[in-house]
Structure 1
Amino acid sequence: MIFEEFNPMEDRMLRIIDNDGNVIRPDLFPDISDDTIAEAWKAMFFERVADEMAVSFQRQGRMFTYPPNKGQEAIHIAAGEVIRENDWLVPAFREVGVMLAKGVSMKEIFLYYNGNEQGSNFKNAPRVLPINVPIGTQLPHAVGIGYSIKYRKEPDVVFTYIGDGGTSEGDFSEALNFAGVWQVPVVFTIQNNQYAISVPVSTQTRSLNLAVKSIAFGIPGIKVDGNDFFAMYLAYQQASEHARTGKGPVLIEAVTYRCGAHTTSDDPTRYRTREEEEKWKLSDPLLRLKMYMEKRGIWRVNEDELSECYKKEVEKQFVEAENVGYSLEEVFEYNYAEMPDDLRRQKEEYQQFLLWKGNRK
């Protein structure tokens, strides 16, 4: 088991290919077909195209605040290759690729970031909870679902996510504690993208790493190169098997880098350097997988043509979302028996925004 070799107390990190796409641990290379690898790269590429376009739509004033996913695609698509239809996905807010793999559409994601309540109604994605913005509160929900799975003796697994900063929240510790005590089938993923908004990991915790936090709760933990698709695939494969066979939860620290801003309201130039960003570009998950495929002779992609195809599809889904009507009643009417003044003002401001947006067309 990889959890024994990569003991987080020794601060060892699971990595299968290097930054140039060379296989450095052939003994750990997962059993995965060339066709699956090719489809995984395309899924990662689609996520990146969609993500970059989402940022553009927000900058155009056509969408509200959005959290970019660029740089974290290997984590998402590796999970998407392993997660099953009846498994549960309990996301935070930076898991677009996993949501797409589970059946959520970009139209629904765009609806959510346009403030439309229908953006949390995933019609073709069973067992996916809505996007969760309050930091860490999704983890106890994941554990509760895991407890119900164990109680009913079902062969399902819960996949849930949090950022590096979220590990400082009480919900994180409480969820891992209960998960360990109850031995529930939950795979926790910490997307360590180096910054909790502007706070670097170095000032977030004094722990040796984030995977080591699993030890206090008596569950397996592992530190993985989050930009290595094969390492993430193997980690999810073994973690989900561990959970699915009644052995309890697993904590994965996926070491990656947030290439964009924390959200479109953030300016990362205020707290990180251009040199740091350029260094992490060398570990780009799409580039690494592409170089591996080229070395293996399985690269069959015309990137320019595929990019245009994906852009048209994303644009189509965004326009469809943009043209879906809003129900102000769903947004404002069901919070209080009598609407308070501050909420009434918000409703009026929202109505003005919708009027302005309609006049722009």
Structure 2
Amino acid sequence: VLIEHIGNLDRAYEFAERCNEPAVWSQLAKAQLQKGMVKEAIDSYIKADDPSSYMEVVQAANASGNWEELVKYLQMARKKARESYVETELIFALAKTNRLAELEEFINGPNNAHIQQVGDRCYDEKMYEAAKLLYNNVSNFGRLASTLVHLGEYQAAVDGARKANSTRTWKEVCFACVDGKEFRLAQMCGLHIVVHADELEELINYYQDRGYFEELITMLEAALGLERAHMGMFTELAILYSKFKPQKMREHLELFWSRVNIPKVLRAAEQAHLWAELVFLYDKYEEYDNAIITMMNHPTDAWKEGQFKDIITKVANVELYYKAVQFYLEFKPLLLNDLLMVLSPRLDHTRAVTFF
């Protein structure tokens, strides 16, 4: 009567205290909850020892942020009914009140809670310490690695990624290590990513956009020895050398020219004005005309006598013979006889004589 008709909850509270009967406390609690008096309602439910309305209580406490009270209520409710919903919400409430020791003890004991689900909720609310305990408990190493990254525990994150062994996790941890300037750990992750040709570009761009060329080159150099090394890795390393370490380009090409995508590297060498390397690649790619033209256009960098005489005999365009004679007349007149010895079977002698 006091509750429904007079609407005076204070008097109802006094009455409940006098009777001290569970049923009365439950009635009062229900009314208090409807009026939005969450803290008082939870107290009343605890006095009534009544866990039946746990859904409503959890929702109300969630909305009003009464986490401390909710912990007490759910601990009472758990003694009565081992509902998985109650246990799940209890774990989340413990995380919210930062009682991590209790939380750990709880999840290590027997329980029916949806730990993975609580872990995701904690993660979404940036409660990473709690999420770490929960993911560890259910051995979800992918999410555990993501959580550890947010906590700045990079070494542990790499170990988590190793257990999860998924490319997505490796990438997330690798990028986080790069951001945290933990390049040794980033490289450990990177080596698991570069072997996937379709992931390589994103990784390279991530390093390049932040200006970490040295570290990127070091990582790719380390990756060339992997048994799953593929053409993309050799090609990208050659392109990086052409931009940042041109002195290393030649050696790389001599060792691995058969494993790079030559057209791609040709473009890079041309943009970087590495004319000698360009000639080397044209020769391997059997574009002899371009090789000869490059040598004649950039004689100081690219011309080598033996190589020139060797390639000139393979060109498709006969006009290049005469251009070569003209080139020697201007730049290397003393070596002209050697060139003519090679070319004489191929030249129209009458036309050649007109050069002199």
TM normalised by structure 1 equals 0.22
1 or 2 for the larger relative contact order (CA 8 Å, sep ≥6)?
1
| Larger strand percent | 1
Q: Provide TM-score, normalisation by structure 2.
A: 0.22
